[in-house]
Structure 1
Amino acid sequence: MLHGEDIRAARRARGWSIPILAAALTEAAQRQGVHLMSPASLKTSISRWENGHVSPDDLYSRLLAAVLYLPYAGDPLARGVEYPRDIVDTITVLDALADADHGGDAALATAGAITSMGASQVVTGYLFAGSPALALGPAGPVRGVEVADRIRTTVAAMMSMDFARGGGHVRRQLLEFFRTQVVPQLHAVHPEAVRREIFSAAAEVAQLLGWSAYDAGRHPAAIRYFVQGLRLAEEGSDQLMGGRLLANLSHQANFMGRFDDAVMYARAAQQALQGRHSPAVETMCVMMEARGLASLSDQHATALVIHRAEQIFERRHDDEPGWIGYYDPAELAGDASHCWRDLQLAPETKTFVGEALTEDTPPRTRAFIQMVAADGALVAGDLDEAGALAAAAVVNGGDLRSARYLQYLKDFHDRLPPGAARHRALAEFVDLLHTHHPAIVAAR
């Protein structure tokens, strides 16, 4: 239940009047296709809620929690942005989240983002959990982990499809798998060593659920999968997966323009890995820091961090977790190319793009890197190359179902100079957008 004094305090903390809160509630409801009471009645109701005369019902409590960033105990989805202490709470939240996500709950695409304060709570909650299980780990091979192995095999196959065709292609199957095959195992009784392996494998599922939601543009859902996945990783004594989930939160925060949070998450990811020797995982986490710094226009720090990542990467070995196998020299170069693109340094961008594209580059990654290359060419003033690269990305994007990919196209289109449609190469790109993604052109 939301208490009146909490509603009033949160409203005032945002500097909102009651009419502004009423307007925010109405807008949030409209995004979900819900019609509220009249504006006058809503303002009266807010006053009554704040004064404790009556409590908001479930609908209004969820809307208030979303627009004021308030936790709502009656809504497990609202609690999903908090790092929980009780593992049972995590399982409950994830099960409810997957159920709502499978049902297409609009709130999971429109709810407010986690605040910087909330992000700090997640970091401190995980890094300073103090759980004895976090310090433990199987000393050797563990018997009876067939369940965990089956989970990991399924996730690996779906991860390959996600890389190839975008998060929109795997989400429903993965949600169904999680709810029917993974959640029951989290509730079941297992020997401790087996239990840790199952929770570690479940964290891999939550990681991919979050990544596919992020790629599909369902950011509120993604954040919750990542945060609750961290608690699964803790329970599974899997610091490497914990580092990856924090790195994912960094990647997403950077994409959403929360650059300081991106750097914080990336540094926390590196802290989480201390004592766990995995150069490939550490490199990926360090490069998330570089990308956040580049977004903050800190060229000197970005260059130093990229150099550190390259040195760490040289120490990689065969005994790395299977899920980090995708992070090869080309992937590292791709992250670096994003950094130089964001710093508006065209020559460096072009150099690393050349290293990032190989015969084995997955289609979604290829489309991203082609757009990074197009951005670099546009900065350099080479409109012919910029247009050709962007047009190729549209063609090669084919059947990708990725909101991130569409955002790359939109960002490039929005940066085109006046009169771009009169330039042959750029006109070809714009024509392809009209054909394949008309909403991008119409939105400008």
Structure 2
Amino acid sequence: MDKGLRAIRVARGWSQDRLVFEMRRFAEQRLLDIASSASLKVYISEWENGRRPLTDRYAGILRPLFGVTDDELRGEAKPQLQQADGYEDLLTRIDAAGSLSASMVQTFLDQTELLRTMDRQMGAAGLVDQMGAHLARMEEALTFAVLPSARRPIATALAGASTLAAWQALDAGSVERAWRRYELAKKAAQDADSPLYLAHAMGEQAFVLHDAGRSQLAVELVRDAQQTQSDRQSLRLRAWLAAAEAELCAGAGMLDDARRAIERATSLLPHDGQTRDPDMVSIFLNTDHLTRWRGNVLAKVGDGSAMDDLYVSLSTTDESFVRAKSGLHCDLSQAHMARGEFEEARSHLQQARLLANRTGSVRYRRRIELLTGRL
């Protein structure tokens, strides 16, 4: 299994002992009965050297733990789509794609929404296979759709789903998959002639660059996103992009730019009582969400007023946004640290860790480790 489990473990930077620890913790959180630490270490060595077959039981732990598919875990080549056998098969596929009904496209959108809900409550790592299959079905339909009237609705659905899949991959620590899925989202958005989905994909993709240490390039990308047919962008999307710019500027040490961007986001956000735009359902942004985001930015620039925004957000955030609450506790920990209130900082960091473990968020675990090192 050289190309499977071992390669994934090494890419994550985990020793076999670390993997044993993570497997035990994963099982304990879910009340699963697994082998002892000593036995697991033997199993891992034997799985990686091909001396013991990886059972479905343990694969079911390792897949969500690493955020990978079953094929990737087992080191098997991904199955290829069956090749069209002559014109008859090709035309059958084209006819099927051309006759795809509006109800089928709505089914794609409904499935994306279900996966979005599961993601924010339970985390992304366990959804890799489901999301991969979901994207593959839409890509297949789009590949054989000929006329723009047939392609646009499928491409719009694919753009939204791909952006979600990319963010899930980033949260699970699968950086290259995240990048590729953002590229897929951008191409689908262009096929759909949707500047909204294109700008959103660019804005989220900037966070991959930021996490990789290219903060200045990330800021440039999110600023380019704001110029992408800006006259066709909704006010909510423009506010979202401005808030994203603020967070990225804060991370790049561009403190004045960060403050200006978050103020611009506040002025742009429509006060219509809505959370999402009907033609742009991939983002959630209302006054409560922006208050949380503002607190995040102000905490990162060392502004003492961050505390008020963050505590307001903590009391109003929907309980289903589990990962977002983990981020809130990280922000509060950082804000308390800036004020020298280390006991309060530790308390919030502990809450953040519990929620990050619950969702399996590699991205937030990394942030928690960095903050822990400052206490």
TM-score, normalised to structure 2, is 0.70
1:42-441 matched pairs, under 5 angstroms: 103-104=71-72, 144-179=101-136, 181-314=137-270, 319-321=277-279, 323-324=281-282, 326-345=284-303, 347-357=304-314, 358-361=316-319, 362-416=321-375
Shift of residue 273 of structure 1? 4.3
Question: For 1:104 and 1:360, how far apart are their aligned partners in 2?
Answer: 35
Residues 180-231 of structure 1, C-alpha deviation per residue, up to 9 Å, x if partnerless?
x222201223542231110111111211221111000011110111012201
Question: For 2:9 and 2:283, how far apart are their aligned partners in 1?
Answer: 43
* Structure 1 residues 105 and 219, CA gap change in structure 2 (3 angstroms): farther
Question: For 1:106 and 1:315, how far apart are their aligned partners in 2?
Answer: 50
The one-letter code of the counterpart of 2:374 is R
* Structure 1 residues 333 and 154, CA gap change in structure 2 (3 angstroms): same
Shift of residue 288 of structure 1? 1.4
The one-letter code of the counterpart of 2:344 is E
* Structure 1 residues 270 and 216, CA gap change in structure 2 (3 angstroms): same
The one-letter code of the counterpart of 2:72 is G
Larger mean Cα displacement after TM superposition, 318-327 or 331-340:
318-327
Question: For 2:123 and 2:160, how far apart are their aligned partners in 1?
Answer: 17
Contact 1:279 1:317 in 2 (8 A): no
The one-letter code of the counterpart of 1:297 is G
The one-letter code of the counterpart of 2:301 is L
Question: For 1:280 and 1:172, how far apart are their aligned partners in 2?
Answer: 32
Question: For 1:315 and 1:267, how far apart are their aligned partners in 2?
Answer: 24
* Structure 1 residues 355 and 314, CA gap change in structure 2 (3 angstroms): farther
* Structure 1 residues 204 and 30, CA gap change in structure 2 (3 angstroms): closer
Question: For 2:216 and 2:296, how far apart are their aligned partners in 1?
Answer: 17
Shift of residue 260 of structure 1? 0.8
User: Structure 2: which 5+ runs fail to align?
Assistant: 1-6, 13-67, 76-99
Question: For 2:289 and 2:280, how far apart are their aligned partners in 1?
Answer: 16
Residues 149-168 of structure 1, C-alpha deviation per residue, up to 9 Å, x if partnerless?
11111001101111112211
Aligned to 2:230, the other structure's residue is in SS state: coil
Question: For 1:145 and 1:190, how far apart are their aligned partners in 2?
Answer: 16
Shift of residue 350 of structure 1? 0.9
Question: For 1:253 and 1:162, how far apart are their aligned partners in 2?
Answer: 22
* Structure 1 residues 183 and 298, CA gap change in structure 2 (3 angstroms): closer
The percent identity for this pair of structures is 18
Aligned to 1:104, the other structure's residue is in SS state: helix
Question: For 1:368 and 1:303, how far apart are their aligned partners in 2?
Answer: 20
Contact 1:341 1:375 in 2 (8 A): yes
The one-letter code of the counterpart of 1:370 is H
Aligned to 2:281, the other structure's residue is in SS state: helix
Question: For 1:234 and 1:284, how far apart are their aligned partners in 2?
Answer: 20
Contact 2:269 2:286 in 1 (8 A): no
* Structure 1 residues 30 and 393, CA gap change in structure 2 (3 angstroms): closer
Contact 2:262 2:294 in 1 (8 A): yes
Question: For 2:282 and 2:184, how far apart are their aligned partners in 1?
Answer: 20
The one-letter code of the counterpart of 1:236 is A
* Structure 1 residues 280 and 106, CA gap change in structure 2 (3 angstroms): farther
Question: For 1:257 and 1:159, how far apart are their aligned partners in 2?
Answer: 27
Shift of residue 392 of structure 1? 2.1
The one-letter code of the counterpart of 2:288 is A
* Structure 1 residues 250 and 415, CA gap change in structure 2 (3 angstroms): same
* Structure 1 residues 32 and 396, CA gap change in structure 2 (3 angstroms): closer
Aligned residues: 286
Question: For 1:196 and 1:208, how far apart are their aligned partners in 2?
Answer: 19
Shift of residue 287 of structure 1? 1.2
Contact 1:145 1:198 in 2 (8 A): no
Larger mean Cα displacement after TM superposition, 239-248 or 192-201:
192-201
Contact 1:364 1:400 in 2 (8 A): yes
Q: Which residue of 1 aligns with 2:22?
A: none
* Structure 1 residues 373 and 314, CA gap change in structure 2 (3 angstroms): same
Residues 5-24 of structure 1, C-alpha deviation per residue, up to 9 Å, x if partnerless?
xxxxxxxxxxxxxxxxxxxx
Residues 219-276 of structure 1, C-alpha deviation per residue, up to 9 Å, x if partnerless?
1110111012201110011111101100111122223321111111111111124122
The one-letter code of the counterpart of 1:405 is Y
Q: CA RMSD in A?
A: 2.7
Aligned to 2:227, the other structure's residue is in SS state: helix
